[in-house]
Chains A and B, each alone.
With several copies, the nearest count.
Chain A
């Protein structure tokens, strides 16, 4: 019952990690619930993922809204607004 978390660019630097396995609990069934759990870690997580901060979430490489479900085996990426091109 784990998911792969992926952090990119400025968030990867701030969190000091680019990829981690995250154990889902029964109450973490949406992106919103996952974000709440990550915020509880405090520090950079609480700060960068606070409501109103500009970041995006992709589940299995598709950008989603925060009510999107999260299932075991998913790859969930969190990253700043994109700046390529």
Chain B
């Protein structure tokens, strides 16, 4: 099991990333993936620009811990997390998570687990520009609930 974590400004190409992960591993039968994108509306306001701040060092550490927890819980091969930082605009990709496994149940669960934990534990913060000015996005209690259910 290999865990790949990357945090950078540059965009990513999910198709190419999946190809690279699968390369030469014919035991992989399932690839679950997720992309999060910037929406043009949030909390009822238009979003023009978004700025993503993070805590360098801790971010990578935390994402690696989350991936390691996923591979302790499920029989999976590889995990990949890419999270962008800096200035983003609507339609831009923010984050992707990819998990490979032999059968689909494991990669689906692990992919969703990693996203739920990333949302509540990885030190990223969003600031949006709206017609009313700039604002830091508030944490959603729905995200806490999503992460909480994996503890059962």
Chosen A-B contacts, 29 in total, with CB atoms closer than 8 Å, are: A8-B123, A9-B53, A9-B125, A9-B127, A10-B125, A10-B136, A54-B139, A58-B55, A58-B58, A58-B123, A61-B57, A61-B61, A61-B62, A79-B123, A80-B125, A81-B120, A82-B121, A82-B125, A82-B139, A83-B125, A83-B138, A83-B139, A84-B52, A84-B95, A84-B122, A84-B126, A85-B83, A85-B115, A85-B118
Name the interface size band of chain B. Answer: 20 to 34
A85 touches B123 (CB 8 A): no
**B binding-site residues for A, Cβ under 8 Å:** 36, 52-55, 57-58, 61-62, 83, 94-95, 115, 118-127, 136-140
Taken together as a complex, chains A and B put the C-alpha atoms of A77 and B126 apart, in Å, by: 18
Residues of A within 8 A of B120 (CB): 81-82
Known: A8-B53, A61-B61. A85 touches B125 (CB 8 A): no
**Total contacts A-B at CB 8 Å:** 71
Name the interface size band of chain A. Answer: 10 to 19
B139 interface neighbour in A58, A61, A81, Cβ under 8 Å: A81
A77 touches B138 (CB 8 A): no
